[in-house]
C-alpha cells in the first residue's frame, strides 16, 4: 500500500497514483470525479485487515469481492455496512469522508 502522490483533490491530468487493488473502478475513466477514491482505498484496507486478504488485484468496472459478512463472521452490522458502502462501485453511492468517520465512530461505540 502506498500514500505517495498527494495533490489537490481537484487536480486533473496527473499521472495515476496508487497500488493496484486499492484504486477504485472510476480511476480508469479520466473524466470521472475522483473525490471519493480515497474512501474506496480505505474500504479495501478495512476489508483486508478484517478478512486477511483482498482478491481483486486490479481495478475493474465491477466490484466482485465477496461481501465481508461471508468472509468474516460475527462483525457488527455497522462495520459490514460501512465497508460495503466504501467499496461501492458507484462513487456517488460511497459515503463522504465525514459520513464514513461518523459511521466508524458509531461502529467503534458498538464494540
8: in domain: no
Q: What is the DSSP letter of 84?
A: H
Q: How many domains, in total, are found in the chain?
A: 1
For residue 62, give the CATH number of its domain: 1.10.510.10
Do residues 67 and 85 make contact, with C-beta atoms less than 8 angstroms apart? no
Reported as a pLDDT band with limits 50, 70 and 90, residue 8 is low
Residue 104, C-alpha cell as written in the block: 466508524
Encode pLDDT of 9-20 as tens digits. 565 555 555 566
What is the pLDDT at residue 47? 86
Encode pLDDT of 48-82 as tens digits. 888 887 665 444 444 555 677 777 788 888 888 89
Do residues 110 and 78 make contact, with C-beta atoms less than 8 angstroms apart? yes
Domain extent, residue 83, equals: 25-109
What is the pLDDT at residue 61? 40
7: in domain: no
12: in domain: no
- pTM here? 0.70
Write the DSSP assignment of 10-47 as a string of letters.
T--SPPP-S-TTTS-GGGG-TTS--TTHHHHHHHHHHH
9: in domain: no
Q: Is the pLDDT reported for residue 21 higher than 80? A: no
Amino acid at each position: 500500500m502506498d500514500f505517495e502522490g498527494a495533490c489537490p483533490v481537484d487536480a486533473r491530468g496527473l499521472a495515476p497514483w496508487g497500488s493496484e487493488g486499492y484504486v477504485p473502478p472510476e480511476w480508469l475513466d479520466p473524466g470521472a470525479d475522483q473525490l471519493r477514491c480515497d474512501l474506496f482505498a480505505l474500504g479495501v484496507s478495512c476489508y483486508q485487515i478484517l478478512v486477511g486478504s483482498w482478491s481483486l488485484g486490479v481495478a475493474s468496472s465491477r466490484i466482485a469481492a465477496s461481501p465481508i459478512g461471508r468472509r468474516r463472521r460475527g462483525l457488527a452490522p455497522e462495520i459490514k455496512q460501512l465497508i460495503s458502502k466504501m467499496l461501492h462501485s458507484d462513487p456517488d453511492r460511497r459515503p463522504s469522508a465525514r459520513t464514513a468517520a461518523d459511521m466508524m465512530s458509531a461502529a467503534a461505540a458498538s464494540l
